[in-house]
C-alpha cells in the first residue's frame, strides 16, 4: 500500500498539530511556512516529514491567517489540481465566499493552547474538541468524506455547519465573550488605580469571568476583521440586553431580575460539559473548600474505583474561596462514587445530563 500524502501550508500551532496528528495516523506529511525557521522547527519536532511542496499530496491543509486563505487556496489548486483542500481558519464566511472550488472544504478545529507557535503543537490537541466543517452546495461528497475522516481520526467531534451560521455562533460563544472578558478586566483595572483594594476583592466569580482575557491578543484583530458583521451584531445585542438589565436594576424590577437570572441559571446548568455521549453521563457536584488536597483526594478516589472522568471543573462561589468540584462521569458508576465520597464526609449531589 502506498503511504498517503498530505501537504501543510503553514506549520505553526495548529498546522503543526495537524501534521503531528496526520503522521501519527500514518500519513507522509510535507510542509512549508512563510517563515522558513518555523518550517524547519516543525520538521525538528516531527510535525512534518520534510519541508517543501509535494505535488503528489492528495490532501492540502492550509493553516494560515484567515485573510490569506482564499489566495492560498488558489495557489494550492494550481500546484495540486486533484487534491482535496481544507483550511483551519477560525472565521469561515469570507473564505467559502471567496473560494469557488468543489474540492475545497472549509474547516475550523475549535482548539488552542496557551502556547503559540509550532512549539505548542501537539498531536492530541484536537482530542475531544469540536471540529466544524462548512461544506457548500458545490462541495463534493468525496472531498467532504476525506476531510471528515481526517478530522475525526484526530479525536475531534466533527460538526457540519453553514459557514455564515458558524461565524454567528463563534461570534456568540467565542469572539464576543473574549472581548467582554477583556473589557471587564480593563474596567476593573482602571478602577483599581483609585482603589488599591479592588483586585484583592476580586474572588472566584470575577476570576472565572476574566480568565480568557489572559490570552495573547495577537490573533484577535484578524478575527475581528474577518468576522466583523457577526461580532458587531452580537455586541449590539449584548449592549441592548445589558441596558435592559440596567433598567431592571434602576427601577427595582425584582421579578424581572429574578426571571432574567433564573433563565440564565437554567441555561448554564444545561450547558453540555463534554462532547462525549451525554445520555450515559452524570454530573457529580462535590462541595469543597478550595484546598488542593481535596482535589487530589477526589480524583484519586475516582481512579481507585475505575471511574473515568470525562470533564472536571471547579466552580467558585460568586464571592470567596469556596467552590464546588463538578465532575462528569459514567452514569453506571455514579452512585458508588458518590457514596464513597459521602462516606469520607463530602457533600455530594448527582444530576443526570440530559
Among residue numbers 260 through 279, which ones bind its own copies (CB under 8 A)? 260-265, 267-273, 275
Q: Which of residues 229-248 bind its own copies (CB under 8 A)?
A: 231-232, 234-239, 241-243, 245-246, 248
Q: Which of residues 81-100 bind its own copies (CB under 8 A)?
A: 90
Contact yes or no for 344/338 (Cβ under 8 A): no
User: Residue 234 Cβ, how far from its own copies at the closest point, in Å?
Assistant: 7
> Half-sphere exposure (CA, 13 Å, Cβ side) for 2?
6
Q: Quick count: other Cβ atoms within 10 Å of Cβ 320?
A: 11
Cα-to-chain-centroid distance, residue 107? 13
Q: Nearest to residue 39, comparing CAs of 57, 58, 64, 22?
A: 64
Cα 80 to Cα 207: distance, rounded to the nearest angstrom: 48
User: Residue 350 Cβ, how far from its own copies at the closest point, in Å?
Assistant: 14
Q: Nearest to residue 223, comparing CAs of 268, 179, 263?
A: 179
User: Residue 288 Cβ, how far from its own copies at the closest point, in Å?
Assistant: 10
User: Residue 320 Cβ, how far from its own copies at the closest point, in Å?
Assistant: 3
Q: Site for its own copies (CB under 8 A): which residue of 3, 81, 279, 289?
A: 289
Contact yes or no for 188/205 (Cβ under 8 A): no
Q: Nearest to residue 27, comparing CAs of 74, 73, 64, 60?
A: 60
**Grid coordinates representing 277?**
455521549
Q: Is 220 in the site for its own copies (CB under 8 A)?
A: yes
User: Residue 58 Cβ, how far from its own copies at the closest point, in Å?
Assistant: 27
Our CB check for its own copies shows the closer of 104 and 131 to be 131
Q: Is 212 in the site for its own copies (CB under 8 A)?
A: yes
Cα 133 to Cα 62: distance, rounded to the nearest angstrom: 14
Cα 220 to Cα 240: distance, rounded to the nearest angstrom: 23
User: Residue 1 Cβ, how far from its own copies at the closest point, in Å?
Assistant: 31
User: Residue 328 Cβ, how far from its own copies at the closest point, in Å?
Assistant: 10
Show Cβ contacts of residue 146 under 8 Å, excluding neighbours closer than 6 positions: 58, 59, 84
Show Cβ contacts of residue 93 under 8 Å, excluding neighbours closer than 6 positions: 163, 164, 166, 167, 227, 230
Q: Is 335 in the site for its own copies (CB under 8 A)?
A: no
Q: Which stretch binds its own copies (CB under 8 A): 39-47, 63-71, 139-147, 292-300?
A: 292-300
Q: Which of residues 110-129 bind its own copies (CB under 8 A)?
A: 110-115, 120, 122, 124-129
Q: Site for its own copies (CB under 8 A): which residue of 45, 77, 153, 322?
A: 322
Our CB check for its own copies shows the closer of 211 and 335 to be 211
Residues 14-53: x where in contact with its own copies by CB under 8 A, - otherwise, as a string: ----------------------------------------
Cα 165 to Cα 93: distance, rounded to the nearest angstrom: 8
Our CB check for its own copies shows the closer of 141 and 242 to be 242
Q: Which stretch binds its own copies (CB under 8 A): 37-45, 59-67, 94-102, 257-265?
A: 257-265
User: Residue 138 Cβ, how far from its own copies at the closest point, in Å?
Assistant: 22
Angle between helices 163-170 and 228-250 (to 10 degrees): 40
Amino acid at each position: 500500500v502506498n503511504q498517503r500524502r498530505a501537504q501543510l501550508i503553514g506549520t505553526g500551532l495548529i498546522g503543526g498539530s495537524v501534521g503531528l496528528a496526520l503522521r501519527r495516523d500514518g500519513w507522509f506529511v510535507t510542509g512549508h511556512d512563510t517563515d522558513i525557521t518555523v518550517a524547519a522547527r516543525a520538521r525538528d519536532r516531527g510535525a512534518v516529514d520534510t519541508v517543501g511542496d509535494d505535488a503528489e499530496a492528495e490532501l492540502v491543509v492550509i493553516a494560515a491567517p484567515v485573510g490569506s486563505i482564499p489566495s492560498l487556496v488558489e495557489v494550492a489548486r494550481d500546484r495540486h489540481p486533484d487534491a482535496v483542500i481544507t483550511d483551519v481558519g477560525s472565521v469561515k464566511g469570507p473564505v467559502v465566499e471567496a473560494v469557488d472550488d468543489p474540492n475545497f472544504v472549509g474547516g475550523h478545529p475549535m482548539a488552542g493552547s496557551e502556547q503559540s507557535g509550532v512549539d505548542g503543537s501537539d498531536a492530541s490537541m484536537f482530542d475531544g474538541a469540536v471540529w466544524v466543517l462548512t461544506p457548500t452546495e458545490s462541495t463534493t461528497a468525496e472531498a467532504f468524506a476525506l476531510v471528515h475522516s481526517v478530522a475525526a481520526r484526530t479525536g475531534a467531534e466533527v460538526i457540519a455547519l453553514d459557514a455564515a451560521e458558524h461565524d454567528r455562533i463563534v461570534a456568540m460563544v467565542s469572539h464576543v465573550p473574549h472581548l467582554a472578558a477583556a473589557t471587564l478586566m480593563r474596567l476593573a483595572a482602571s478602577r483599581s488605580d483609585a482603589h488599591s483594594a479592588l483586585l484583592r476583592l476580586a474572588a472566584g466569580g470575577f476570576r472565572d469571568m476574566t480568565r480568557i482575557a489572559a490570552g495573547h491578543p495577537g490573533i484577535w484583530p484578524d478575527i475581528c476583521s474577518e468576522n466583523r458583521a457577526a461580532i458587531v451584531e452580537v455586541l449590539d445585542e449584548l449592549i441592548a440586553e445589558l441596558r435592559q438589565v440596567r433598567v431592571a436594576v434602576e427601577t427595582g424590577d425584582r421579578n424581572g431580575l429574578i426571571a432574567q437570572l433564573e433563565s440564565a441559571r437554567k441555561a448554564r446548568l444545561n450547558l453540555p460539559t463534554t462532547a462525549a455521549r451525554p445520555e450515559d453521563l452524570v454530573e457529580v457536584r462535590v462541595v469543597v473548600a478550595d484546598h488542593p488536597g481535596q482535589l487530589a483526594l477526589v480524583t484519586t478516589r475516582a481512579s481507585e474505583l475505575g471511574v473515568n472522568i470525562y470533564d472536571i471543573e471547579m466552580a467558585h462561589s460568586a464571592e470567596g474561596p469556596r467552590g464546588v468540584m463538578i465532575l462528569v462521569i459514567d452514569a453506571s458508576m455514579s452512585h458508588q462514587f458518590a457514596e464513597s465520597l459521602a462516606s469520607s464526609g463530602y457533600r455530594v449531589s448527582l444530576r443526570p445530563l440530559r
